[in-house]
Amino acid sequence: MNQEIKPLNVLFKGLLLFLLFTLVIAAWQPGIGQLSLYNSLYPGRERLPFGENPKQSYNLSLFNLDAMFASHVIAGMSKGDDEFRVIIVGDSSVWGTLLKPEETLAGQLNQDNLNACGKNVRVYNLGYPTISLTKDVMLLSHGMGYDPDLVIWMTTLDAFPLEKQTSTPLVANNEETVRGLATNYGLRVEADDPNLVKKSFWGKTFVGDRRSWADILRLQIYGVMWASTGIDQFYPTNYERAQTDFDADERYHDFTLPDLNEDGLALNALETGFRVADETPMLLVNEPMLISSGANSDIRYNFFYPRWAYDDYREMMIALSAQNGWTYVDLWNIVPANEFTNSAIHLTPAGEKLVAENLAPYILEMCE
Amino acid sequence: MALENILILAAASFLWAALLRDRGRTWFMLIASVLVIFWLQPTLPIRGFDFWIPVATLVIAIFSWYITANDEARRKRKNWGVFALVAGIVLLLSLTRYFPIAQILTASRPPPIETLLAVIAISGMVFFGTAHLNRFNVTLLVIGIFILIVVFLVLKIPALTYWLSYGLRALMSQSLTSVSANDFHWLGFSYVAFRLLHTLRDRQMGRLPSVDLGEYLTYVIFFPAFTAGPIDRLERFIKDLRAVPSPQSHKDAMTQSEKSSRLRAFESSWLNETVYPAGQRLLIGTFKKFVLADSLALIALNEANAAQVTSTLWMWVIVYAYAFQIYFDFSGYTDIALGIAGLLGIKLPENFASPYLKPNLTQFWNNWHMTLTQWFRAYFFNPITRWLRSWQKPMSIPMMILLTQVATMLLIGFWHGITWNFTLWGLWHGLGLFIHNRWNDATKAKAAAWATTPAREAMLNSSGILLTFHFVALGWVFFALSSPATSWQVILILFGVN
């Protein structure tokens, strides 16, 4: 049968089918992020995907939590009877800015081949390079799906201010997940939080949400480079060291001397984290920070903190932990200033080793 | 060309064709081409040169036309109109210097108008200096060819480009501390030069068709093919340019109903025979370039990953990625050029015909960047072979094949850049072609005798395809990287010697 093809009809039908496809995507919202070539064609990544210069780091930042976790090694590891599974959540100091995967806190703990209660300790790095307790809770909630035996939550004061909770892009672009945490675990989120991006119907269509689809695809493509090089971060040959001289500035966000007003801190997010972990033991850690000895170091510890605010925060954390029965470790000053790299919270491999050595006894202790 | 450039050019071409059909087609293509060479020229660190380079392209093209045109073509009045139009466009673009909001077609702020007027005046003086030679002059052709080759060498030899940048920076009173060979990027020159050389050489041989200035300029800087080819031939291009199917012809002799029915038939055939095939080609090209090639580029072999990958398996993966990236990138651009040109009724020549599915290297080169290889065949390989054969005591056939194949492929390598790696790439293919030629001579009969069944024939064919593809892929290692040492290291890893 030799039927004449009418290009206009083909064009019209093609457009119609595409329109239908994009609308179906909006209505269906398939969990495309769960499909991944990682942990099958490529090895899983040792840390969550994050990258500001993908061409050099073979890594990129995206907002799809399913895709992020599906690319992580934790998604490909079935937990054996002999595994004591530890997940660590936290900011860039946990993720490991400027560090190779094996140099991060998780990497160093894994190299120690710890044995807890007769099981092999396997530590998974679920840190992500933005500072917000709500972001940590969101990742913890996802991480709980992988059945950890212990959660280590590394945090610092700068993750607490309310205005930092939803402004980080990863949180802002996961509005439904954050609302779910509010519904299920009592996370306090404003109904009209301007930071949270509410996707319109158009934004959920294939065309409207094309960026997200493209990011997932790019993450899969970069898997080739991750598999072939083991590189997931750009390591500059030179970088600016963390600041040690400061102006005599005692300001800290909107807080005023002499005390941190707890109403301005997301203590509810901290409590939500413990509710999310539920029965799973959790170790709350005040992470190390640079203690400067430069100009005005009698006023400020570092770039982030004036002394009064940080001292008050430490006292508050001790009191809160005692009050709630949380296992809390304060490692604020265990790392010497020369073991920090480009920020007051980013450590050198030796600095991370020091933290790992301090945390290892707690891991062994908390397995029981 | 970025996606937005392509969409704008395709939309403009479609709209022109839909609304005006053949009316003013040459003018449309000429004006669009002149504007596009300014629009696409990237920003340069040497002040004003992202404006002067397109001007230089136009000046060289106009001079080339003048020395190749015959007396009859030169005398056409239309040439003055074309000249005034081109000069007017350049002046208008220059005037946008004083209206920043209108500076959308130049990479940066155009130079002062007085400088442009001075350049036009100097060009005019040179032009009139040669204009007294009102008869065709073969010496000018030789000078023209020589100048083009010199400019080509300066642009392709990094050390010379460096010194050019150095000189121009000094001329513009700019800092000399950060001079680089990358300062000077003449968009489209490789293709423009080859089109010009073709016309100059064909004029020497007395086989160039007579064209006016507008036709010649449109051919040389035709915007769909300006940045990435294909390299058309003037006589073929002109045929399309001059042949315009139109429902308007003989309209005076027709009744109203005849006119309407003829117009409907024309519109239908225009859609079916022009717009849809061109649109399809454009879509395929866009998909190849912006989806396939750009995705493969994320993992394709480059300087950085060549030093980072140490596993044989993954090294092959990134070399394969490069092989397909370069194919989809280049053939995608060709499809886009053919698509946009098709909307305007110009059928540019094909450049790629499934080259990776060819069973031997000779066939690969007959189907990869076809217009470039045809150009070299016409203007280098065939003449040099004829010359070698004309020797009183000709060399042996194998020696002649070795010499001509290697020399041709070396020149094709140099066309991409005169560096050690392009030399090695050219040598790799030249020797490959020679070996294939000798092998084919020695085994053709045996292979034919063996491949007596379709299965054997298919086996022979597929093993040829695999072998050829891998030979080409290994060649890309030299092409993709900049140093022989790094390339050699990659090849060692590919063969498990690490």
Q: Which pLDDT value is given to residue B70? A: 86
Q: Residue B449 region, left (φ>0) first, then alpha (ψ -120 to 50), else beta?
A: alpha
Chain B residues in contact with A56 by the CB 8 A cut-off are 304
Among chain B residues, CA nearest to A55: B298
Specify the length of chain A in residues: 368
CA distance B477 to chain A (A): 17
Q: In the prediction, which pLDDT does B90 show?
A: 93
Length of chain B: 498
Chain A residues inside the 8 Å CB shell of B295? 217-218, 221
> Cβ of A246: how many Cβ atoms within 10 Å?
17
* Beta carbons of B411 and B372 less than 8 angstroms apart: no
Q: Rounded mean pLDDT of B252-276? A: 71
Question: Stretch B315-323: mean pLDDT, rounded?
Answer: 98
Closest residue, chain A, to B270 (C-alpha): A7
Contact B298 A55 (CB under 8 A): yes
What are the chain B neighbours of A11 within 8 Å (beta carbons)?
Answer: 276
Residue A319 to chain B, least CA–CA distance (Å): 50
Q: Region B188-202: what's the mean pLDDT?
A: 94
Residues 207-226 of A with CB under 8 A from B: 217-218, 221-222, 224-225
Do the chains contact at B272 and A7, CB–CB below 8 Å? yes
A69-75 mean pLDDT: 97
Q: Which candidate in A6, A229, A235 is best for mutational testing of the B interface (most B CBs within 10 A)?
A: A229
| Contact state of B305 with A224 under an 8 Å Cβ cutoff | no
Contacts of B318 in chain A (CB under 8 A): 224, 228
Q: In Å, how far is B281's CA from the nearest CA of chain A?
A: 13
Give the C-alpha distances (Å, rounded to integers) separating B66 from A147, B56, B130, B134.
80, 15, 9, 10
Q: How many CB pairs under 8 A join A and B?
A: 39
Which residues on B lie below 8 Å from A217 (Cβ)?
A: 295
Over residues A144-158, the pLDDT tens digits come to 999 999 999 999 999
Whether the upstream peptide bond of residue A169 has omega within 30° of 0, thus cis, is no
Q: Outline where B309-453 has alpha helix (H).
A: 312-343, 361-367, 370-376, 382-389, 397-416, 420-450
Alpha helices in chain A (DSSP H): 7-28, 54-57, 65-70, 73-76, 92-95, 105-111, 133-143, 169-172, 175-185, 201-204, 210-229, 267-277, 307-324, 349-366
Q: Which residue of chain B has the CA closest to A218?
A: B295
Partners of B304 on chain A (C-beta within 8 Å) are 56
Q: Cis omega before residue A258 (within 30°)? A: yes
Measure B305 CA to nearest chain A CA, in Å: 8
- Neighbouring CB atoms inside 10 A of B362's CB total 16
> For B70-115, how does the pLDDT look when each residue is reduced to its tens digit (9 = 90+)?
888 888 889 989 999 999 999 999 999 988 887 888 988 898 888 8
Q: How far apart are CA A368 and CA A364, in angstroms?
A: 8
Residue A7 has its nearest CB partner, among B271, B305, B308, at: B271
**A176 has a pLDDT exceeding 70:** yes
B308 vs A contacts (CB less than 8 Å): 228-229, 231
Q: Do B314 and A7 touch (CB under 8 A)?
A: no
Q: Cβ of A228 and B304 within 8 Å?
A: no
Tens of pLDDT, residues A319-366: 999 999 999 999 999 999 999 999 999 999 999 999 999 999 999 999
CA distance B275 to chain A (A): 10
| Average pLDDT, integer, range B203-226 | 93
- B-chain CB neighbours of A224 within 8 Å are 299, 314, 317-318, 321
Interface test with chain A among B275, B281, B299, by most A beta carbons within 10 Å:
B299
Check A225 against B305: CB less than 8 A apart.
Answer: yes
Residues of B with CB under 8 A from a CB of A: 271-272, 275-276, 295, 298-299, 304-305, 308-309, 311, 314-315, 317-318, 321
Mean pLDDT of chain B: 90
The answer to whether A53 contacts chain B (CB < 8 Å) is no
Helix, strand, or coil here: A58? coil
pLDDT of B139: 84
Mutate to test the interface with A, among B271, B308, B312, B316 (most CBs of A within 10 A): B308
- CA–CA separation, A129 vs A183, rounded Å? 26
What pLDDT sits at residue B254? 62
Q: Do A225 and B299 touch (CB under 8 A)?
A: yes
Please give the residue of chain A at the shortest CA–CA distance from B278: A7
Q: Judging by beta carbons within 10 Å of its beta carbon (0-12, 13-18, 19+), is residue B127 exposed, middle or buried?
A: middle
Query: How do residues A98-140 score in pLDDT, each as one tens digit?
Result: 999 999 999 999 999 999 989 999 999 999 999 999 999 999 9
Q: How confident is the model at residue B135 (pLDDT cuts 50, 70, 90)?
A: low
Do B334 and B340 form a contact (C-beta atoms < 8 A)?
no
Q: What is the pLDDT of residue B464?
A: 96
C-beta of residue B191 within 8 angstroms of C-beta of residue B205: no
Local confidence band at B131 (pLDDT 50, 70, 90 cut-offs): low
pLDDT range class, residue A39, cuts 50, 70, 90: very high
Give the mutation candidate from A42, A218, A224 for the B interface (greatest B CB count, under 10 A): A224
Please, what is the average pLDDT of chain A? Answer: 94
Considering only the beta carbons, identify the residue of B272, B298, B311 that sits closest to A221: B298
CB of A15 within 8 Å of a chain B CB? The answer is no
Nearest to B309 among A55, A218, A229 (CB): A229
